[in-house]
Amino acid sequence: MNDISQASASAFQLLISGNNDIWEIISLSFGVSFSAILIATPVALVIAFLLAFFQFPFRRALIALFNTFMSVPAVVIGLSLYLLLSRSGPLGDLRLLFTDKAMIIGQIMLSFPLLVAMAHASFQAADRRAWETAITLGATPARAFFTLMYEVRFGLIAAVVAGFGRVIAEIGCSMMVGGNILHSTRNIPTAIALETSKGEFAQGIALGMVLLVLSLSLNAGVSLFQGKGELQA
Amino acid sequence: MSHLIDYKNLVVTLSGKLILNIDSLSIPNHQCTLITGKNGSGKTTLFKVMSGLLKPDSASIHYQGLDMNWKQAKPYIQKDIIYLHQQPYLFDASVTYNIAYGLYRAGESKTAAHNKVMQALDWANLSHLAHRNAKQLSGGEKQRVALTRARILSPRLLLLDEPTASMDTDAKQQTSLLLQRLKEEGITIMISSHETHTVEHIADRHLHIDQGRITSLDHSHSEKVTVLNTSKYNN
Ligand SMILES: Nc1ncnc2c1ncn2[C@@H]1O[C@H](COP(=O)(O)OP(=O)(O)OP(=O)(O)O)[C@@H](O)[C@H]1O
Ligand SMILES: [Mg+2]
């Protein structure tokens, strides 16, 4: 009991004192996850929109596929990416394994199905008249798409926030393809796992607190935006 | 009699069911055509095809001296024909934004657009609602905003899908007043309805649609067409 409260106290100390290592880990975590979401989101939105608004072959199969991929464990995605990127793998020449780029790729793969599925649900629930109105008033399809995104913005923001929440806290994939290298690929979840297994609780608790606060706010954000969307309807 | 547009052999099937089968439909210029038909007779489907929003199985279209299939005609008809939904959809923004929406396509300058919007608001007696969120308006107010939003683009043909359905007498009156004025401005109008009385006085011509076929032409009205044609739009 005493140990834990002492560790918690030093955890606070670490955060407040601006301990270099800890803030480096935090910023790497955010950098990687932001990049992944930033890259994945535009593509996911376009795909979600096409799936919701147009008829084409294998549309239903694709929707089912994205829904299925949502529940693939992070460590399995990490493993697949590891095999692809390892020296002897098909993409080994890119020398990406154990870099932050590999972590970004992993997190893109991880967040993409979730982004598509949630954005698809938003577009699906959107009013078809919004699209038709934009078109009949002379909007180009591109502009009509942006208009439609604005109309369902709360659902889309919820999707992005949920996607970010999934990748910022995941450990399996980052561990496999990042390798938890200090100053280069160590992020919050891998650091927590490593430091704790070494018996150094303070850093683990400090990072855990950051993650906890973040998760709580993200979850609150998701429900807030989803609630807003419902009120609008 | 000059026609704005002619549709021929218009066929639409949805989910394997024949919804529309129209041999020929001509829209006379500067006139108001009323089309009545029961629920499910195909009015909305017809309007969506006419305005380029829904792809028919087949159609040939004669427009501006050109004979085209639907795909070739689509850019023209999407530009010149505006469809208004049975329940108009207003974007989740201010009334002003809604009315200005289509103006951006023309690359109109900000001040020119602003002036146009102000005039349009005044025209429809909507100035007091300018900054309200359009989603919060009543059904009748929404319809007037939608009409104004369409009129500001000077369409050549306006397709109004049951514009006065589910409105009280007051709102109906205000809407039909606007319709009357649109017509006087020379905009060609087509109105669908499952009841005739509210907009009857505006209509020059009365068509009927039943199970996707245009079946009858009311004679008293077609006579009125001829009269109007020779007196007002004789060319
Ligand atoms: N996507 C669709 N798939 C299959 N059938 C459809 C589809 N859309 C419309 N229909 C059918 O087409 C027919 C015509 O529908 P439409 O909406 O054009 O009728 P309407 O005359 O506008 O009716 P209302 O007066 O109720 O608005 C109806 O029988 C309807 O069920
Ligand atoms: Mg209808």
Q: pLDDT per residue over A114-129, tens digit each?
A: 999 999 999 999 999 9
Residue B219 lies in a domain: yes
Residue B62 pLDDT greater than 50, yes or no: yes
Q: Which residues span the domain enclosing B125?
A: 91-136
* Closest chain B residue by Cα to residue A146: B91
**B209 shares its domain with B182:** yes
**Atom 8 in ligand 1: residue holding the nearest Cα:** B14
More confident position, B107 or A72: A72
**B110 shares its domain with B26:** no
Q: Mean pLDDT across the stretch A134-156?
A: 95
Distances (CA, A) of A158 to A35, A46, A87, B91, B173: 18, 16, 38, 20, 43
**B43 shares its domain with B115:** no
Confidence bin at B232 (pLDDT 50/70/90):
very low
Is the distance from CB of B60 to CB of B68 less than 8 angstroms? Answer: yes
- Please tell me the distance between residue B46's alpha carbon and the centre of ligand 1 in angstroms: 10
Is the distance from CB of B51 to CB of B82 less than 8 angstroms? Answer: yes
**pTM beyond 0.95:** no
**B177 shares its domain with B83:** yes
Confidence bin at B218 (pLDDT 50/70/90):
low
Confidence bin at A229 (pLDDT 50/70/90):
low
Residue A213: per-residue pLDDT = 93
Residue B170 lies in a domain: yes
**B75 shares its domain with B95:** no
Considering only A129-133, B109-113, B124-128, which range has the smallest mean pLDDT? B109-113
Are B85 and A138 within 8 A, CB to CB?
no
**B178 shares its domain with B218:** yes
| B78 vs A contacts (CB less than 8 Å) | 135-136, 138
Tell me the three state secondary structure of residue B75.
helix
Residue B72 lies in a domain: yes
Residue A222: per-residue pLDDT = 82
* Residue-averaged pLDDT of chain B: 88
Residue B175: per-residue pLDDT = 86
Residue among A111, A93, A103, A116 nearest A46 (CA): A116
pLDDT digits (tens, 9 = 90+) for B163-187: 988 788 888 888 888 899 999 999 9
Please give the Cα distance from B90 to A232 (Å, whole number). Answer: 12
What DSSP assignment string belongs to A101-139? HHHHHHHHHHHHHHHHHHHHHHHHHS-HHHHHHHHHTT-
Residue A230: per-residue pLDDT = 58
Closest ligand 1 atom to residue B42 Cα is 18
Identify the CATH number of the domain in which residue B80 sits.
3.40.50.300
Please give the Cα distance from A32 to A19 (Å, whole number). Answer: 20
Which residue shows structure tokens 């704005």?
B4
Residue B48 lies in a domain: yes
Please give the Cα distance from B80 to B187 (Å, whole number). Answer: 11
Question: Is A130 an 8 Å CB contact of chain B?
Answer: yes
Q: Mean pLDDT across the stretch A193-216?
A: 89
Q: Give the residue extent of every domain in chain A.
A: 22-227
Count of the separate structural domains present in chain B: 2
Residue B199: per-residue pLDDT = 78
Residue B217: per-residue pLDDT = 62
Residue among B99, B134, B130, B124 nearest B113 (CA): B99
**B121 shares its domain with B207:** no
**B10 shares its domain with B77:** yes
Distances (CA, A) of A82 to A77, A96, A135, A159: 8, 10, 45, 27
- Please tell me the distance between residue B47's alpha carbon and the centre of ligand 1 in angstroms: 11
Contacts of A95 (CB under 8 A, 6+ apart): none
Q: Mean pLDDT across the stretch A49-56?
A: 93
Considering only A179-193, B32-46, B175-189, B191-205, which range has the smallest mean pLDDT? B191-205
The CATH code for residues A22-227 is 1.10.3720.10
- Hey, which of A17-21, A150-154, A193-197 has the most confident mean pLDDT? A150-154
Residue B173 lies in a domain: yes
**B111 shares its domain with B178:** no
**B163 shares its domain with B76:** yes
Residue B227: per-residue pLDDT = 38
Residue B232 lies in a domain: no
- Please tell me the distance between residue B164's alpha carbon and the centre of ligand 1 in angstroms: 19
More confident position, A107 or A2: A107
- Pocket of ligand 1 contains residue B39 by CB under 6 Å: yes
Q: Mean pLDDT across the stretch B81-90?
A: 96
Residue B221: per-residue pLDDT = 46
Q: Mean pLDDT across the stretch B181-201?
A: 87
More confident position, B175 or B22: B22
**B83 shares its domain with B188:** yes
